[in-house]
Amino acid sequence: MRIMMDNYILTADTSLTYDGSVKPRTDIADILSKQLGFHKIEYPMFKKNNNFDSANISLIKRLTENSILYFQFPTYSSYEQDLDFIERAHRKNITIIAIVHDINSLRGFRETLAEDIAMLNNFDFITLPSLSAERLLKKNGLHVPTVIQRGPFDFLTSSPLNSPHYANIVNYAGNLSKTKAGFLATLRNVPLVVYGNNIDFRLQNPAYYAGKYDNDELITKLDSGFGLLWDGDGSSKSPFRDYEKYNWQYKLSLYLAAGIVPIADSASNVGKWLKKTNCGLVINDITDLPEMIKTIDKTAYNTLYQKIRIQQIRVRNGYYIKSIVSDVADLMATNKDLVK
C-alpha cells in the first residue's frame, strides 16, 4: 500500500529576468507551494553546465523516496543534465510528471521532434498544451500517458483587479525581435500600441512603441481596448506562426490578467479556446484586424468582458495549474501500475 507522498515542483532561479519563459515557471511553483503545499526545488534552468553530476546529486538528496515530482519542461539547461536528474530520481522510486510549457522542435529551434519525443518518453506522465500537440507527438512515437491542459497558463500579479474600458486600440506586448514580431511593421491603419523589448523595426502610423515595463506595471497600462496574439516575421513560412496551433501563448495570460479582449488566429490553439469560451475574438488573417475592431462597439465590448472577467480571476489565482494537478491525480489513479 502506498503511503502519503511528498509533492515537489521544480522552479527556476528567481534572479532570472526573461519573463516570457521564467515567469510561468515561477508562478506555477508559487501557486503549488503556497496553495497545495508542494515543496519547491530550485533547478538550474536556462543554464548549461557540463559538470552537472554534483549539482544533481545534491538536488536528489532533498527528495524523499516514493514521492512525486513535477518537472517543468523544457528547462533550457541540457537534455543530458535533465536525463541524469530523471534517472537519479527514478532510482529513488520517484514518480515524475512533466509540465510541458513548449515543444522546441515545433518552434523551429535546434532540437528535432525525435529528440523531444525521446526525452519526453523518460517521464512517467506528461501534460501537454493541446490535443493537436498530443496527436502529433503520439503519431511520432510518444507513449507516455498524457493530460491535456484545459486553459492558459496562470499569471500571478499584485496589480489591482481592473475593469478595462472600451477603446478602439489594439495592444501588443512581448518580445519584439523581428523574427517574433516583425509582422507588426506591415500593419497599416491599425491604432496599435506596442510594449516590450528588442524592437528592431519601424512601425507604421498610427502605431507607436510605448516602452518596456515590468509585469505588474504593464497590466495597469493595459486598461482599455484589445490584446493581439500573433507571431511571426511577416512571411508565410515563419515557424512561430505554425507553432500557434500547438501552444498557449503567454500573451493570452497577460491579457486575461489585465482583462482586455484578446484577438487571436482562428486556427490557433488559443483561437479555438476563445471561440469555445466566448472570451475573445478571432480572425483568419492579420489583414482582417482593422475591420474586426470596427465591428465591436462599447456594448459588444462590455458583453465580452463579462466572460473575460471569469478568466481574469482564474489566471490570477492559479485555477489552471490546480486543474492540471487534479487531472494528473486522476490519470495516475487509473494507471497505478506506472506509479513508482
pLDDT in tens, 140-153: 999 999 999 999 99
pLDDT of residue 200: 85
pLDDT of residue 3: 39
- Asked if 117 contacts 133 with a C-beta cutoff of 8 angstroms, the reply is no
- Residue 128 grid coordinates: 501537454
Mean per-residue pLDDT of the chain: 92
Residue with cell 512571411: 235
Over residues 108-133, the pLDDT tens digits come to 887 899 999 999 999 999 999 999 99
pLDDT of residue 198: 82
Backbone angles phi, psi at 117, to 5 degrees: -65, -45
pLDDT of residue 181: 92
pTM of the complete model: 0.94
**233 or 154, which is more confident:** 154
pLDDT of residue 97: 98
Residue with cell 490519470: 331
pLDDT of residue 1: 30
